[in-house]
Chain A
Amino acid sequence: MTTGKRKVIDAITRTTICLSAAFSVLLLAGIVIYVFSKGSKSVNWSFLTSVTSVLNGTVGIAGNIVNTLFIIVITMIIATPIGVGSAIYLNEYAKPGKMVTRIEYATETLSGIPSIIFGLFGMMFFGEKLGLGYSLLTGSLTLIMMVLPLMTRNTQEALKTVPEAYRNGAIGLGSGKWHMIRTILLPSAMPGIITGTILAIGRIVGESAALLFTAGSAKLLPKGFAGLLAKPFQSGGTLTIQMYLSATSEGDFDTAFGIAVVLIVIVLGINLATKALTKRFDVTRKE
């Protein structure tokens, strides 16, 4: 092959490579610009603080925001300790062997299961078998299984970065293992754990398939303190579910794009927060 021909081929190859890489950037820019141009006019104070009601003539997503917050809080309150505990067991207690392989394989499998399967299982088990029906609690219990691998892996990564000398030092000074974990390991691993938590919240905010048949789609605001307490046992649609319904069965694209703007802002915020944390504390993270 002549050098001239080679040069042409190389130039074409390089251009193709650069175009492929540019595709992701252009796609993201396109999505963000399109969503904002279509949706930013729907987003205002009353959109965020009122509930859509024909009677009052209001359009808003306050109920969905409250539902989303409920699901985030309930899910994370349960998933964080279990995920962190699991990582501590795997890193600090377990000796390599069958049990560890099994737990790690189970965690891996769990992270590969699609959300619609979680939704199906949540509906059958928490909703029907345990009789929780369509409720925020059913949705949260379903999501716990989904974010568990994320919490476990991020905590494991964080624990691995804690120097062995810290552990030996604490044990050498006569501290028990639990005491060492509580006072030395967990504080040192905290940035990693928080990163995992933020990533998990991001997953929850964006989730839809696992919630459609577990948490339902109600959008009313809870009334008073008693209503707030009863809310976990009632149906409630998150932002993504409402967006799906607005865009499909309700045909209300203004609301759909308005919610899309809110979701993209949340996603950007979460991305920036994890970036800042990772940079500041130099923790590795896994998605």
Chain B
Amino acid sequence: MRRKAIIEKTAGIIFFICAGAAIFAVSAITLYMIIKGTSALQEVGVSDLLFGIVWKPTAEPPSYGIGYIILSSLIGTGAAIITGVPIGVLSAVFLSEIAGKKPGDLVRNAVELLAAIPSVIYGLIGMMVLNPLMYALEKKIYEGDSEHVYTGGANMLSAVIVLSIMILPTVISVSTSSLKAVPDNLRAASLALGATKEQTIFKTVIPAAKSGILTGVVLGIGRALGEAMAINMVAGGAVNIPLPFNSVRTLTTQIVSEMGYASGLHRQVLYTVGLVLYVFIMIVNFILLKARKGGIKDDNR
């Protein structure tokens, strides 16, 4: 009997340790990002580093302003959300309100596969298809403009298009489940009052599913902020003010493209870039947590 009790006790402890692994991982990552990321802040100066706009890490004297990099990440994410969310929400409407079994299954499977395609493939296709298109457009727009630095199509606009495609699966799947959770009597009431199906969708169903759709949008923001490889392949390689036809660096691509060779203070600044990204992601996570909690409260009301 005693042996059995010991085994039971050990099993419980082992499972507890396994569960603690997630807490341990998050704490370790947070601690490391803060410790490694703050040293450059002290050395370069907080405002010079975060709001400086000149990035010349190898010049003499070097300049480590990541202002444009932060701005590119924020604007790129914002623009991707603005273009991606309407398509995503409308697709979700199709899946939950309109589609029959066969078309619904087709779209659902396609979305699932889009989510599973590795980001380097999006990057490769962006490089081969999107960038030449953008280059043609660029040549048309800036014809005769001697000031413009040609990017060969690797620019902000390409990055935004790739990002808005990459957030689609997230937005679609979260929005679809929140639309499906809207009770049918709301739809029936609206239809009975003489509203058409389309009016019902936009005036009744979408407002009722608002908080779930917003959760999908916030998740999309997190994905767009954190995407690295695909953007690195299509957005060009220079730090610039984020205009549509400028080649840009975002927080993620800055790390991907320079971590390989950076050393000394340059490397520490890249850790700070990581820390800035981490802070943004933690804000997104915090909003998600609040949104989920709020959702639970609504259900109990």
Given contacts A114-B225, A181-B11, A263-B118, whether A17 and B18 have CB atoms under 8 Å apart is: no
> Is B229 a contact of A209 with CB atoms below 8 Å?
yes
CB neighbours of A243 from chain B (8 A): 120-121, 124
Given A112-B222, A244-B123, A17 and B110 contact (CB-CB distance below 8 Å) = no
Chain B residues near A82 (CB-CB < 8 A):
18, 21
The answer to whether B118 and A102 touch across the interface, beta carbons within 8 angstroms, is no
Q: Is B128 an interface residue (CB 8 A)?
A: yes
Q: Determine the chain B residues whose CB is within 8 A of the CB of A244 once the complex forms.
A: 120, 123, 229, 233
B205 to chain A, nearest CB (A): 12
Chain B residues with CB under 8 A of A247: 120, 123-124, 127, 233
Bound together, the chains give a CA A103 to CA B118 distance in angstroms of 29
Q: Are A124's CB and B36's CB within 8 A?
A: yes
Instruction: Answer yes or no: A235 CB below 8 A from chain B CBs.
Output: no
Which residues of chain A are within 8 angstroms of B173 by Cβ–Cβ distance? Answer: 287
Q: How far is the CA of A264 from the CA of B129 in the complex (A)?
A: 18
Q: Given A21, A121, A270, which contacts B29 in the complex, CB threshold below 8 Å?
A: A121
Cβ of B281 within 8 Å of any chain A Cβ, yes or no, is yes
Residues of B near A6 (CB, < 8 A) are: 196
A201 to chain B, nearest CB (A): 11
Quick check: which of A24-32, A160-168, A222-230 contacts chain B, the rest being far away? A24-32
A112 contacts B281, CB within 8 Å? yes
Q: Does B19 contact A90, Cβ atoms closer than 8 Å?
A: yes
Cβ proximity bits A89-131 to B, threshold 8 Å, 1 near / 0 not: 1101110000000110111111011111110110111000000
Interface residues of A in 231-287 (CB under 8 A from B): 240, 243-244, 247-248, 253, 256-257, 260, 263-264, 267-268, 270-271, 287
- Write the B80-111 contact mask toward A (1 if CB under 8 angstroms, else 0): 00000011101101110011000100110111
Chain A residues closer than 8 Å to B284, beta-carbon distance: 112
Give the distance in Å from the alpha carbon of A176 to the alpha carbon of B7 in the complex: 9
Q: How far is the CA of A28 from the CA of B125 in the complex (A)?
A: 12
- CB of B116 within 8 A of CB of A24, answer no
| Inter-subunit contact B14/A85 (CB<8 Å) | yes
Chain B residue contacts of A22, Cβ below 8 A: 107
Chain B proximity of A120: nearest CB distance (Å): 5
Interface residue tally for chain A (C-beta within 8 Å): 85
A170 interfacial contact with B, CB 8 Å: no
Asked if B281 contacts A107 (CB within 8 A), the reply is: no
CB-contact partner of A208 in B11, B95, B119, under 8 A:
B119
Q: Which residues of A contact B15 (CB under 8 A)?
A: 85-86, 88-89, 92-93
Contacts A213-B260, A247-B127 given; does A206 touch B116 at CB 8 Å: yes
Q: Are A102 and B23 in contact (CB under 8 A)?
A: yes
Question: A177 touches which one: B11, B26, B99 (CB < 8 A)?
Answer: B11
Grouping DSSP codes into helix (H, G, I), strand (E, B) and loop, the B interface class, with mixed when no group exceeds half, is helix
Smallest Cβ distance from A43 to chain B, in angstroms?
15
Contacts A34-B129, A85-B14, A93-B16; A18 near B94 (Cβ below 8 A): yes
Residue A67 is within 8 A (CB to CB) of chain B in the complex: no
Instruction: Decide: B229 and A89 in contact? CB cutoff 8 A.
Output: no
**Quick one: given A17-B94, A21-B107, are A112 and B288 in contact (CB under 8 Å)?**
yes
B278 within 8 A of A: yes
- Find the B residue at minimum CB distance from A120: B274
**A202-214 CB contact bits vs B (8 Å, 1 = yes)?**
1001111100110
Return chain A residues, CB-CB under 8 Å to B112: 271
B285 at the interface (CB under 8 A from A): yes
The contact of A25 among B87, B106, B227, by CB within 8 Å, is B106
A to B contact number (C-beta, < 8 Å): 239
- Tell me whether B114 and A178 are in contact (CB under 8 A): no
* Docked-complex contact A148 and B25, CB < 8 angstroms: yes
Give the A-binding residues of B (Cβ under 8 A).
4, 7-8, 11-12, 14-23, 25-26, 28-29, 32-33, 36, 86-88, 90-91, 93-95, 98-99, 103, 106-107, 109-121, 123-125, 127-129, 165, 168-169, 172-173, 196-199, 201-202, 219, 222-223, 225-229, 233, 252, 255-256, 259-260, 271, 274, 277-278, 281-282, 284-285, 288-289
* List of 5 A-B pairs having minimum Cβ-Cβ separation, nearest first: A114-B226, A85-B18, A206-B118, A20-B90, A21-B94
- A sample of 22 cross-chain residue pairs with beta-carbon separation below 8 angstroms, ordered by A number, consists of A20-B94, A21-B91, A22-B107, A24-B107, A24-B172, A25-B110, A34-B129, A86-B15, A106-B23, A112-B222, A112-B284, A120-B255, A125-B32, A148-B21, A152-B22, A176-B7, A248-B233, A256-B124, A260-B124, A264-B117, A267-B118, A271-B116
> With contacts A114-B225, A263-B120 known, what are 18 further pairs, Cβ within 8 A?
A10-B197, A16-B90, A25-B106, A28-B110, A85-B19, A89-B19, A106-B25, A110-B26, A114-B222, A116-B226, A116-B256, A148-B21, A208-B120, A209-B229, A212-B229, A257-B124, A260-B120, A267-B116
Chain A residues within 8 Å of B, Cβ to Cβ: 6, 9-10, 13-14, 16-18, 20-25, 27-29, 31, 34-35, 38, 81-86, 88-90, 92-94, 102-103, 105-110, 112-118, 120-121, 123-125, 145, 148-149, 152, 176-178, 181, 202, 205-209, 212-213, 240, 243-244, 247-248, 253, 256-257, 260, 263-264, 267-268, 270-271, 287
